Amino acid sequence: MFQKETQEGNQGTEYSADRPLLDGNQLLLQVAQLVGYISEHAAYHHGEQSLTMTIVNLAQDYIGSNNLNLLMPNGQFGTRDQGGKDHASARYIFTEPASITRTIFHPDDDPLLNYLKDDNDPIEPEHYLPVLPMVLINGAEGIGTGWSTNIPCYNPEDIIANIRLLMDGKEQVPMLPWWRGFRGAVKKIADHKYDVTGIVKKINDTTVEITELPIHKWTQSYKAELEAMIGEKGDGPVKVIRKPRSHSFY
C-alpha cells in the first residue's frame, strides 16, 4: 500500500487506514468519519490531515495516481487537472473498499498477521501480506527516515508474470514503468532512468495539439507554463491557448 505524498512522521499510516475496511465493514463511509474511526481503534498518533490525505490518495484513480486503487472514490477525490490537489473536503466525500481489495489482502492470510497492541489493546498488524507487491503496482514517492524514495508504477500483469517466473525458478523479465490509461511513451535511457513523453500533433506550421501530458505533469500547471510563454503583451512564442477539454483532466 502506498501514500502518494508521504509526509514525515506518518509511517504506517496506510496500515491504519485499511484496517477497519478489511474487518468486514462494507458500508459507505464519509472520509471524515473514517478518520475518526481509525484514530480511535488503530491507536493512530499522528495528525488528522496526514491520515485524511492517505485515505484520499488510496482512493484516487485518475491517470498518474494509482494503477489499482484500494478504496473507492465516491465523490471528488481529485483529478489530473491539479494532480489530486483539487479533492473536496473530507466531510463531503465517501469511500468504501474496492471489490478487488480483499482479493489482494486475502482473508485466508489474516491468521498469519502479527497483530500489535497499544496499551494492551489490539490494533493493526505489524504489516499486511498482499498477494501482489503493491509498492510496485502503485509506486512510492517521498521521504522516509533518512531516505528519499521514488519507485514508479508498473503493470500488474507484468508483475504477475514475473512472480510466476520467480516461483518456477526462472529469470525474471525487465519491466517498464506503466500507468493505467496513459497513452504516451515510456523509454529507458539508463539504469533506473526513463523518459516519459506525452503526445503532441502538428496541425499546421503555427499550431500544435497536445492530447497527452507526461506523467505527473498536471493540466493546470502545464497550461500556466504555456501562458507564461505568451508574454504580458502576447509577444511570446505561444500566441493562443485553447481551453483543454474536460475529459483530458482524468
Here the cell at position 218 is 498536471
Give how far the C-alpha of residue 19 lies from the chain's centroid of Cα atoms, to the nearest Å: 19
Active-site hit among 37, 92, 128, 194: 92
- CB contact set of 172 (below 8 Å; sequence gap of 6+): 162, 165, 166
Alpha carbon distances (Å) from 62 to 6, 59, 111: 18, 10, 34
Beta strand pairing call for 185-190 and 148-151: unpaired
Exposed/middle/buried for residue 228 (C-beta within 10 Å: 0-12, 13-18, 19+): exposed
The closest alpha carbon to 152, from 73, 78, 65, 84, belongs to 65
DSSP 8-state code for residue 163: H
Q: Extract the runs of DSSP E, i.e. beta strands, from 100-229.
A: 115-118, 121-125, 140-143, 148-151, 185-190, 193-197, 199-204, 207-212
Adjacent-strand bridge partners of 186: 196
92 catalytic per annotation: yes
Give the catalytic positions in this structure.
92
